[in-house]
Amino acid sequence: MAKIVLTTDETLTSTYHDVPLLDFLGCAPYDKLPKWVFRFFDTQLPDENGVLAQAPYGLRKVEAALLRDGFRRDEVVVAHPRRLERFIGKDTRIVALYEMDPLGLGPVSMMFTNGGKWTNYTKVKFLELVEKINRIRETKKLDFKIVVGGPGAWQVDFRKEERERLRIDHVVIGEVDHVAGELFKDIESGSADETIFIKGWPRVEEIPTIVAPSYKGLVEVMRGCGRGCRFCEPNLRVARHIPLERIEEEIRLNVNSGIDHAWFHSEDVFLYRVEDKKNFYPNAEAVVELFEIARKYTKNVNPTHGAVAGALAAPGMIEEISRIVDAGPNHWIGIQVGFETASPRLIGKYMNNKMKPFSPEEWPWVLLNGTYVFNKNYWFPAYTTILGLPGDTDEDEIMTAQLIVTMERELEEKLGNRAHFTVTPLAFVPMGLLKNQDFYQIDEMITYGQFLHLYYAWKHMMKEVTRGLPAVMKNNPFLIPFYPLARLGTRIVIRQIEKWGRSRGYEVKPLEPLDIRIEVEEHRWYSQPSLMEAY
């Protein structure tokens, strides 16, 4: 039995057969898909007598912070959600859950569940987990606190009626690295508020190094971003850069535990140790050094997120990273990138640093040319856009659809079969400085321009499934039987979007591409020339 039990729901402990991007299956509507789909792809992380052998990175940080702050190793356990009962007993004081999307209110889930009208898989598994913990509490007549934290904790605070029904004692919102010991002691003593808002952020030296393996070999290289997009909570935080020696320590820990991968987590990997805080020109030497350190331990090095403007500002940096990790036709580097909108007006209004060192007026050109830089060096950007940004117009939305068409045409003309990207539209969720806005409800709010944005994004997705999936299958034979199913699935989605649009009087029309071209001039990554010199 443990004094503090840390865990999470089963969608965050599933490996999904190591299929790229299938982690997003948790956002799918559980009540609209056959149940066998979820069961079939649910392959859980290994455990050692109920203790997770690998765990989501956020859990590892809380674990490390508690051990640093005076809790003994035998008092803290990171438990597999299916083995919780082994660790909850009369000595247990807190069962704390780390959650990403507990009630399905995240942008991806809201998009895939028709604005929350259906129930996504993460919500199903979160509810199951909390109800299981409550049953243990009742059956054994135990007195411990149920605490929910993590990036999705705001959802539980937002839906207070659900929180009360589930008898969740505390919700923690914010980063806890610097206050974990004090926080858990306050909760245990009964002196903590029901909703605990953590003030400020930990300094770099207050962020602990993990002490046990993280799932997928995830390693945090920086927190916050600094670009300050108004809709994005992480981007509003102070940017902090983790020292190289601590990053290397975590990589070494994971690799020595048998994880042959290093995933660099950040809001924008190209801003690692950035010095130019005005124009956000990448510190190319620092970013390249980051990848060189990881390559000493594994060739499987990937970033999670990055800004296309950073890649375009220093194309030689991208080329050098590709050389370091041996990127090529059979080894692509995946990265998630915010496309958001093609509209210079909206990008300037809500994200006026996102395009830097370029201008809002250049944003469509930046997306096209930045994608060219990615593709030429075997990087596969998975873009996300936002449907329903406050104040958008049909002109803004149609421009986004036009840019997708333009990128597809121009990149194929220049790069042929090396041209790859996806665009996934997400529903606007009121976060960051836009908390006072309404959730975007696609079934009630969609306009003609948004319909075209959605349609052309999925039409391109269908093309990528047809062309790009065979390359992915080379590295994962498990996927081979699903290739025809995936092709059929995207065709069905396209037909359903067309049918849904017609029911609202919206017909698909051919779109003229935007008048922009690929115009990248190569330069050496370490020279960091001015933009006038580079372009």
Residue 114 pLDDT > 90 = no
Per residue in 135-176, pLDDT (tens digit) is 999 999 999 999 999 999 999 999 999 999 999 999 999 999
φ/ψ of residue 266, rounded to 5: -165, 170
Q: How confident is the model at residue 183 (pLDDT cuts 50, 70, 90)?
A: very high
**Amino acid identity at 168:** I
Domains of the chain, residue spans: 4-197, 216-534
Helix axis angle, 315-324 to 363-376, nearest 10°:
20
Per residue in 485-506, pLDDT (tens digit) is 666 667 777 888 899 899 999 9
Residues 374, 379: Cα–Cα separation, whole Å? 5
Q: How confident is the model at residue 526 (pLDDT cuts 50, 70, 90)?
A: very low
By DSSP bridging, strand 47-48 and strand 51-52 are antiparallel
Q: Strand (E) positions, 170-287?
A: 170-173, 195-197, 218-220, 222-223, 240-241, 262-265
- pLDDT given at position 246: 98
What percent of the chain is modeled with pLDDT above 90? 76
3-class DSSP string for 416-472: HHHCCCEEEEEECCCCHHHCCCCCCCHHHHCCHHHHHHHHHHHHHHHHHHHHHHHHH
Q: Are 259 and 54 in contact (CB under 8 A)?
A: yes
Q: Are 338 and 384 in contact (CB under 8 A)?
A: yes
Output 471 or 60, whichever has higher pLDDT.
60
- Tokens (6 digits) for 110: 């809201």
Residue 24 pLDDT > 90 = no
Residues 353, 363: Cα–Cα separation, whole Å? 11
- In sequence order, the 6+-apart residues with CB closer than 8 A to the CB of 260 are 217, 298, 300
pTM of the full structure: 0.92
Q: Are 60 and 66 in contact (CB under 8 A)?
A: no
Residues 439, 462: Cα–Cα separation, whole Å? 28
Per residue in 279-317, pLDDT (tens digit) is 999 999 999 999 999 999 999 999 999 999 999 999 999
The helix (H) or strand (E) run that includes residue 335 is strand 333-340
Nearest C-alpha neighbor of 64 from the set 142, 3, 6:
6
Q: Cβ atoms within 10 A of the Cβ of 477, count?
A: 8
User: How many residues in the chain?
Assistant: 535
Output 336 or 236, whichever has higher pLDDT.
336
- Tokens (6 digits) for 391: 């104040």
Q: Three-class SS of residue 413?
A: helix
Q: Count CA within 13 A, CB hemisphere, residue 308.
A: 28
Q: 210: which DSSP letter?
A: P
- Tokens (6 digits) for 155: 């959802």
Per residue in 435-487, pLDDT (tens digit) is 677 787 888 889 999 999 999 999 999 888 877 666 655 666 666 666 666 66
Query: What's the CATH number of domain 216-534, 3.80.30.20, 3.30.470.10, 3.40.225.10, 2.30.110.10?
Result: 3.80.30.20
Residues 276, 393: Cα–Cα separation, whole Å? 34
Question: What mean pLDDT comes out for the span 503-511?
Answer: 93
Strand order across the 422-427 sheet: 333-340, 379-387, 422-427
Q: Are 241 and 204 in contact (CB under 8 A)?
A: yes
Average of per-residue pLDDT values in the chain: 91
- pLDDT given at position 523: 44
Please, which residues bridge with residue 79 across strands?
51
Q: Can you say how many angstroms the Cα of residue 34 is from the centroid of all Cα atoms in its chain?
A: 25
